[in-house]
Amino acid sequence: MKVKPVEIVEQMYCHRYSYPSYRSSQFHERDLAFSLDTVPASIHYAWCSISSWATQLVGNRARRSLGQLIHDPKDLAPDTAHISARLVASTNERTRAKGVKTVTKEDMMSFRIADRACLFKTRSPLVWYLTECMAAPQKKGVLVERKCHNPSIIQVTAISSFILSRNQYANSYMAMHMGIWHIACGSHVDVRHAASHLAMSVHETTARQALATMADTSLENLRTEVGQGQKRYQVLYRFVLDNIQEFLRVWEGGTGLENCLICGTACTTIGLEMAGDLQTRMEHAIL
């Protein structure tokens, strides 16, 4: 029967004399178990030494694995959704030359927690396992599924915050979406600042720049499509103008700050995918 190395390590780790007793002169080594900075070779007892070595090994691997999520993968499984690690709120000629991906409306509308969870499981299984151990409750060794406080959602939120903490430009996993969501919900400015400091969302300025970029891009694409439809004598869109108003409430009183009502005009674009082709209709009428 061949003995595997892991079996030897397990026997050493679980041996009754691998842990210092209260009579031992090395009793203080109990505090060195699972140490983060102590050199494992300097610890005499096997239980404390092996636990410190394993802790540092897993920590270094998790740090390296999380760092890989900052960049886009070179190759990805076909069944895994492609999610860019970085979304730029605004670009100039210099950044465009580098091929940096600018935030688009499709990136915001295609957001799904399940896609992020699948991506993290595939690219960084160790980090996902560690967060699962901390977030998911277990009963007799089996994970307990909960509708409220779903562990997968909590894990995706935590990992995306870790990534943004490592690199402020890796904001596409959730931070950019949360920043725009706070603006859409009209969150208090202190809530937005707190979420930004907690690495849960991008800064408000970045989110507003992203909204402006998406608006300009969508308007440019709309003009192009309308122009192409006119060349083919097709009506592709219909425009509806509405009067809008918003009551801005002052959260913190101050000199010259008062509640006010802002009025304006909004335009809604409605796509007419099944609209008739005028040129084709005229040809049929003539024939």
Among 5-14, 52-61, 159-168, 227-236, which stretch is predicted with the lowest mean pLDDT? Answer: 227-236
Cα 34-39-43 angle, rounded to 5 deg: 75
Model confidence pLDDT, tens digit, residues 76-88: 777 777 888 888 8
Q: Is the per-residue pLDDT at 287 higher than 70? A: no
Q: If you search the block for the tokens 């809604």, which residue do you land on?
A: 268
Identity at 76, one-letter amino acid code:
L
> Using CA atoms, how far apart are residues 21 and 171, in angstroms rounded to an integer?
50
What's the average model confidence in pLDDT over 249-258?
68
Radius of gyration for the alpha carbons in the chain, expressed in angstroms and rounded = 28
Model confidence pLDDT, tens digit, residues 111-129: 999 999 999 999 999 999 9
Give the single-character DSSP code of 103: P
Alpha helices in 136-247 (DSSP H): 151-166, 175-185, 189-197, 204-231
Question: Whole-prediction pTM value?
Answer: 0.80
The CA–CA distances, whole Å, from 77 to 73, 81, 118, 163, 251 equal 10, 8, 11, 21, 49
Identity at 264, one-letter amino acid code:
G
> Using CA atoms, how far apart are residues 202 and 178, in angstroms rounded to an integer?
7
> Using CA atoms, how far apart are residues 88 and 169, in angstroms rounded to an integer?
8
The pLDDT, as a whole number, for residue 193 is 92
